[in-house]
Amino acid sequence: MKELSELNFPDDVKYSDDHEWGKMDNGEVTIGISDYAQDQLGDIVFVELPGVGDTFEKGGEFGTVESVKAVSELFLPLGGEIVAINEELEDSPELVNTEPYAGGWMIRVKPDDPAELDQLMSKDAYVDSLKE
C-alpha cells in the first residue's frame, strides 16, 4: 500500500466517508472510488454495477467491487437515478486501479437533490480524515 502522499486526490471532486467520490458535470454526478480506496483493496478483478434507470437513496448500496483481497460494497453519496454506467469496467476492472478518477469511473447519477453533493468532503477534509 502506498503512503498518503503518493496517492492522487483531485481538488475538483467531493469525497464521502465510504471513500466514494463525486463530481458534478452538466447536471449529472459522476461517481467512483477514491485512489485511497482502490489502493487499500488491491488489484480489482470485478465490478458489479446497477442498471441504467435504477434509483437509490443517499447511502444506498449500488454495487460491489471485488479485489484479490476482498469484496466491498459501494454506497451512493447522494440520492438519484442512474443515467449511465461505465461498461468498460466489465472487461477492464483494473481501470479502477489505474485511473480511479478518469477511465475507472463507475456510474453517472441524475441527483434528486444536487445540494447533497455539497455535503461531501473537500480534498483537504478527506485527506485529514484518512490521517486520523
Rounded to two decimals, the pTM is 0.96
Give the pLDDT band of residue 88 (cuts 50, 70, 90).
very high
* 125, amino acid identity: A
Retrieve residue 74's grid coordinates: 459501494
Q: What percent of the chain has pLDDT over 90?
A: 98
Q: What SS3 state is found at 65?
A: strand
φ and ψ of 89, to 5 deg: -70, -20
Task: Evaluate if residue 33 carries a pLDDT over 90.
Answer: yes
Q: Which structural domains are found in the chain, ordered by start?
A: 10-113 (2.40.50.100)
